[in-house]
Amino acid sequence: MNNYGDVINWMYSQLPFYQRQGPKAYKPNLVRMSDFVNYLGNPQNKIKIIHVGGTNGKGSTSHMIASVLQDANYKVGLYTSPHIKSFRERIKINGNKIGKKNIVEFIKSNFQYINKNKLSFFEISVGIAFYFFNLSKVDIAIIEVGMGGRLDATNVIEKPLMSIITNISLEHTKFLGKTRKKIAMEKAGIVKKNSILVVGQFDDEISGVFKSIAEDKKTKLLILDKSVKQIFKSDLIGNYQTQNIGLSHLALKNITGFKISKENLKKGFENVRKNTGLRLRWEEQSQKPKVIFDISHNKAGFELAVNQFDDYKFKKLRMVLGFVKDKNIEEIVNCLPNDAEYYLCKPNVERGFNLKKLKNIFDKFKLSNKTFKDVKLAYNYAKKNSNNDDLIYVGGSNFIFEKLI
């Protein structure tokens, strides 16, 4: 494996990869990851880190925080997942993707260890991020949790500056628990001793979890006050981004050792896409017809998306949707508009939800739909049959966008 293409093909074909394969690739423990970072010299403990978890909004929040810190002239590492088109999207410094050469050199240098210890795709990607950020001497790294928290591969971080939990909804219940309280307990597993915990959602069902763990860990608990009007605006469109702005602002006000001015906050929030390269958060592609790409992929995300439609004037809503298997599809479909036209497809991954079963669910809810073997066919059909005053929404999974961007 002497080139980037060979390395990436090997990673995709040989390694357990949850985001494409699903549950059979999931390895619920931290033993391998702990051993791996120890073998690498524990680079995660040599850099300052903000650890970000939650059900929805953790990607946007991570990018917002990175953008503001970049505007304040800090060298900022950013690790997020999954990627849309290129593996290199996961690991960035000041918005610049990790170099192909860096990935090839890492895999070649550590190939025997990786092979012998049967590491997963995600474990390797996290290891690369920690190693690269330390090697590059970043001032700070923003690390997004993959799934859950307590047993996530990112949770080998021993002393984060801060842990952030955006919100708690029912998702990945097979792994994280069937109640919001149980899921909150899993996500709160990223909280460490003598640190700071910032939470964006604090209701009766989950507040006790956060209070208890903060007290147990002797960690300062900060709660977003949603009644406070946000003074900053972001280039990330969507009413739901208001909470992410507020949460990011609260976090940035409370990290120590970093000088961040009001102007840095203003410019950082206004230039998230430019500074970090973030894509597919209510991203408007065209105006006639208006086309929106958005990675909402669970009930909570689609409820927010449906509410956002109220801000638009359109003649007909057309939704191009594809999902993966571990989502509660009926819950999602139940919150969708009754008067839209639906163009259904299957993401081109092993984990993609069966198209025939998807059609049966939409038929059960009496929603007008057509099925397509490929997302591009579905999207092109929606555009062909739209008028200039229609609205086309594309979403349901990260994996349907690979052929569209």
Say which CATH number the domain at 355 has: 3.90.190.20
Q: How far apart are CA 79 and CA 62, in angstroms?
A: 9
Q: How far is CA 230 from CA 94, 225, 239, 265, 404, in A?
A: 25, 10, 12, 12, 34
Is 368 within a domain? yes
Across the chain, what does the average pLDDT equal? 92
Same-domain check for residues 270 and 298: no
Same-domain check for residues 236 and 316: no
Same-domain check for residues 25 and 84: yes
Q: How open is the CA angle 124-127-131, to the nearest 5 degrees?
A: 140
Same-domain check for residues 257 and 202: yes
Question: Residue 252 phi/psi, 5° resolution?
Answer: -65, -30
Q: What is the pLDDT of residue 229?
A: 80
Same-domain check for residues 204 and 336: no
| Domain closes at, from 256, 276, 296 | 276
Same-domain check for residues 231 and 321: no
Same-domain check for residues 76 and 112: yes
Is 405 within a domain? no
Q: What is the pLDDT of residue 132?
A: 98
Provide the residue range defining the domain that includes 198.
4-276
Neighbour-count burial for 12-44, b at 16+ CB within 10 Å, e otherwise: eeebbbbbbbbeebbbeebeebeebbeebeebb
Tell me the pLDDT tens digit for each residue of 102-146. 999 999 999 999 999 989 889 999 999 999 999 999 999 999 999
- If one counts every other C-beta atom within 10 angstroms of the C-beta of residue 315, the result is 11
The count of domains in the chain is 2
Same-domain check for residues 301 and 211: no
Q: What is the mean pLDDT of residues 151-180?
A: 89
23 pLDDT above the threshold of 80: no
Tell me the pLDDT tens digit for each residue of 48-102. 999 999 988 999 999 999 999 999 999 999 999 988 889 999 999 999 999 999 9
CB 71 within 8 A of CB 275: yes
Question: Residue 190 phi/psi, 5° resolution?
Answer: -85, -10
Q: How far apart are CA 240 and CA 166, in angstroms?
A: 12
Question: Residue 325 phi/psi, 5° resolution?
Answer: -65, -30
